Structure 1
């Protein structure tokens, strides 16, 4: 059975527009935060250690988001991540955001393991790649 990585965030005033709903670019910041926490907390592969110390990063190669319903000031959002595919140097994340079980957005995002100096992709190191496999969706494992 695959694992799911999750974080919980409350919608703050700085996330909202004048109508008190989340301004959609702020969701992209939440996606970035979820991704950063996933690498750090689930994989023990923090952006600080790989980027500053080793000269690598995981830039976003593609992102597709479908918005289902608005979020409002002080809503508690549950953001979750599973992995659809792990390639040689990329991984496709399936991300959901819900509030009290109601979907707010779904996202499919592909990150690339890249050398910051050259800008070229590199194969995933074995340890984080092995840890990522625990988050592969059940349909990906068949």
Structure 2
């Protein structure tokens, strides 16, 4: 299954030329992952942090295909490309503009990689490409 949402390109995303400043794409990729966990996995970052858990990004690779401009509305998609014992890699695309692969690791209270909780693993498996 694919998770999707639309992100409007706003002034805060753009450089003086009116196109998306490339680090802002990293924020949008994180936005996709964070909202996927909130809306689909049912485990938002706020409660995660309050419980002393976390999911840091350990790798991020991005390819910029063509510019997005102020006022565009990009349709983004996310799929689970790889699911490991303690990590997951997501393929995140912003239409034909940008493609990213981001890897996160599940961390429990002791800040060491831990196996995905069963309910989370089941949802991630359902979204595995």
TM-score strictly above 0.5:
yes
2:121 counterpart of 1:125: no
Residues 65-89 of structure 1: per-residue CA shift (max 9 Å, x gap): 0000000000001111001111111
2 CA distance for matches of 1:134 and 1:119?
26
2 CA distance for matches of 1:129 and 1:46?
15
SS of equivalent to 1:120: coil
2 CA distance for matches of 1:39 and 1:51?
13
Aligned-residue CA RMSD in angstroms? Answer: 0.9
1:93 Cα shift?
A: 0.4
1:118 Cα shift?
A: 3.4
1 CA distance for matches of 2:75 and 2:54?
26
Residues 23-68 of structure 1: per-residue CA shift (max 9 Å, x gap): 001001101111100000010011111111x111110010100000
Partner residue of 1:106?
A: 99
Partner residue of 1:140?
A: none
Contiguous gaps of at least 5 residues in structure 2: none
| Number of residue pairs matched by the alignment | 129
